[in-house]
């Protein structure tokens, strides 16, 4: 009997899994793959129901982290994720984490879980978000390091090296960004006084498009688990089923590397080359 394929998403915040790759996680979980989620922070710097940290209605960073962890676990369970691991970095501080420590921690998870496929943000961090960029870099390094017998780390000494077969970056084209930002809100991150905006990938650079239409309502249920962030998602509530399907019905990726397939043809399956 063939081994169950394993897919691991490594992301920065609670809600990245639902808003970013919810359809993909739900689809592969429903098809019997084992889906693992690694989330770097507990979202402790976020707003609470729209209230900023300095507002008396905000429960404080620690309480918010606990609330958001519970929301993350609920959303992951809706999506069919088998296991959620939290690295417990501080929200908005991931790019200042010690890279050796972060990579070592992710290597430990990769060696333990032994995923066939790893998904993370691209180098653009979707809209230049420093946490997203950092997790992309750490995860990319970790997929390489996990396979390297010479990459030593005390706590994971007992674990065997593991070679991930395929690594993917989230890669949204212009059309997805347009639909997303008109339904949702314009996503920007301001870093050192400079505003960063959505960074669409050129269509020709997208290697992989996954049809997730039958999972849009699952994705929407997962998004709704993130109740403390609900004001940010408010406008999504008014969408028609057709709008929802257009938003969550297709997810695109850039195949960073694959040791099991290749070529120029566009993939429609992250497990192409892995399952028969």
**Contact positions toward Zn ion, by CB under 5 A?**
12-13, 16
The crossing angle, in degrees rounded to 10, of helices 241-248 and 216-224 is 90
C-beta closer to Zn ion: residue 12 or 81: 12
User: In the bound complex, what is the minimum distance in angstroms from residue 187's beta carbon to Zn ion?
Assistant: 10
Q: Report residue 84 CA to chain centroid gap.
A: 12
In whole angstroms, how close is the CB of 11 to Zn ion at the nearest point? 7
CB of 125 to Zn ion, least distance (A): 9
Return the number of other C-beta atoms located less than 10 Å from residue 188's C-beta. 14
- Residue 122 Cβ vs Zn ion, minimum distance, rounded to whole Å: 13
For Zn ion, the closer of residues 147 and 232 by Cβ is 232
Give 51's DSSP letter.
B
List strand residue ranges (DSSP E) for the chain, in order: 6-11, 34-41, 83-89, 117-120, 166-170, 188-191, 194-197, 208-211, 250-258
Q: How far is the CB of 192 from Zn ion (least distance, A)?
A: 19
**Nearest CB to Zn ion, comparing residues 68 and 255:** 68
Nearer Cβ to Zn ion (131/245):
131
Which of 171, 191, 182, 179 minimizes the C-alpha distance to 124?
A: 171
Give the residue nearest to Zn ion (CB).
13
| Structure tokens, 207 | 């290697």
- Which C-beta is closer to Zn ion: that of 141 or that of 170? 170
Q: Are the CB atoms for 46 and 90 separated by under 8 Å?
A: no
In this structure, what is the dihedral angle of CA atoms 258, 260, 264, 265, given to the nearest 10 degrees? Answer: -120
Closer to Zn ion by CB, 145 or 253: give it.
Answer: 253
Residue 126 beta carbon to Zn ion: minimum distance, rounded to whole angstroms: 7
* DSSP summary character for residue 226: -
DSSP H or E segment with residue 125: helix 125-128
């Amino acid at each position: 009997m063939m081994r169950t394929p394993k897919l691991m998403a490594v992301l920065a915040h609670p809600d990245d899994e639902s808003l970013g790759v919810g359809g993909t996680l739900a689809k592969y979980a429903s098809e019997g793959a084992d889906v693992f989620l690694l989330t770097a922070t507990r979202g402790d710097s976020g707003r609470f129901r729209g209230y900023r940290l300095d507002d008396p209605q905000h429960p404080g960073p620690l309480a918010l982290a606990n609330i958001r962890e519970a929301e993350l676990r609920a959303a992951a369970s809706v999506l069919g994720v088998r296991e959620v691991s939290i690295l417990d970095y501080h929200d908005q501080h991931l790019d200042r984490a010690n890279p050796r420590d972060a990579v070592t921690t992710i290597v430990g998870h990769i060696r333990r879980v032994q995923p066939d496929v790893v998904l993370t943000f691209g180098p653009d961090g979707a809209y230049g978000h420093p946490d997203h960029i950092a997790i992309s870099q750490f995860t990319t390094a970790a997929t390489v390091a996990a396979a390297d017998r010479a990459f030593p780390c005390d706590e994971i000494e007992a674990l065997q090296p593991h070679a991930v077969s395929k690594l993917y970056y989230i890669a949204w084209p212009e059309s997805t960004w347009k639909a997303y930002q008109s339904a949702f809100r314009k996503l920007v991150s301001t870093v050192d006084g400079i505003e960063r905006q959505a960074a669409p990938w050129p269509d020709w650079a997208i290697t992989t498009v996954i049809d997730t239409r039958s999972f849009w309502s699952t994705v929407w249920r997962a998004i709704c688990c993130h109740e403390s962030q609900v004001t940010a998602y408010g406008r999504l509530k008014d969408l028609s089923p057709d709008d929802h399907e257009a938003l969550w019905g297709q997810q695109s990726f850039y195949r960073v590397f694959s040791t099991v397939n290749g070529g120029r043809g566009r993939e429609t399956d992250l497990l192409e080359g892995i399952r028969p």
